[in-house]
Amino acid sequence: MMAFKGFGPKAIPFLKALDFHQSREWFLENRDLFEQELRDPLGDLVDTLTQRFAEAGLGLRGDRKKSLFRINRDVRFAKDKRPYNRHVSAILSPDGSKAVQGVFYIHIGLEGCFAGVAWWQPEAALLLAMRRAIETWPDRFRAMVKALKKNGLELSAEDAMKRTPRGFEHVTDEDLVAAIRNRHFAVRHVIDPAGIHGPELVEELVDFTMRAKPLLDWGRAIEGRIAKD
């Protein structure tokens, strides 16, 4: 395992150039630069965070190959046919795969740099269980939200439903209604692009994930109840 030392100084300039050219020929000519400045450091970051998360008991891990998303875009069903993403990203999860929920996500790109802890687009049964938990045990949900707020975080309302989903119309408390309308349960940490080039990023990300632990604990408790049913 290589300890994370930072993304290369040309990491963001490379993404800008790739976004300008959007050419397989250009990418292949500059592949070594991509690997040195972005891909290999991201793999190092995944390995380093896996070790640090294990030490902190966070239950999140990854693999420098399987955890990284491809720079190539899947354009089969997309109107936008540009072949390359404008970012690199990776996921650390409870089992190290991309197929489970309750994950840590890292995103380094032209749209911005950020990390997230999330249940993102959970399958219908899990999303329903999370909504039922908010309805049935509101004090537990509010305690989680309060703990996040104390830690400087708040649940994202991105992509929330405009109307209350069927079966929850009787819920009237505004905070609970807003939460039940969520399609995702996530918190986010914005990373200063200037801060991606050094090993200090690891401490920043470990600190964020520790502060997001109330959300991890809340979601995992719900998943545990589903597993018992």
Distances (CA, A) of 155 to 141, 204, 212: 11, 19, 10
CATH number for the domain spanning 37: value is 3.30.930
For residue 24, what are the domain limits?
11-228
In-domain check, residue 4: no
In-domain check, residue 3: no
Burial of 162 (0-12, 13-18, 19+ CB in 10 A): exposed
Pull the structure tokens for residue 38: 């972005």
Q: What is the pLDDT of residue 70?
A: 95
Total-model pTM: 0.95
In whole angstroms, give the CA distance from residue 218 to residue 60: 15
Q: What is the pLDDT of residue 182?
A: 98
- For 176, other C-beta atoms within 10 Å of its C-beta total 18
DSSP state of 212: T
In-domain check, residue 18: yes
Q: What is the pLDDT of residue 79?
A: 82
In-domain check, residue 2: no
In-domain check, residue 16: yes
Q: What is the pLDDT of residue 101?
A: 96
Q: What is the pLDDT of residue 152?
A: 98
In whole angstroms, give the CA distance from residue 85 to residue 120: 20
In-domain check, residue 107: yes
pLDDT (tens digit per residue) in 90-145? 999 999 999 999 999 999 999 999 999 999 999 999 999 999 999 999 999 999 99
End-to-end CA, the chain: 40
| Regions of the chain where pLDDT drops below 50 | none
**Total structural domains in the chain?**
1
In-domain check, residue 23: yes
In-domain check, residue 132: yes
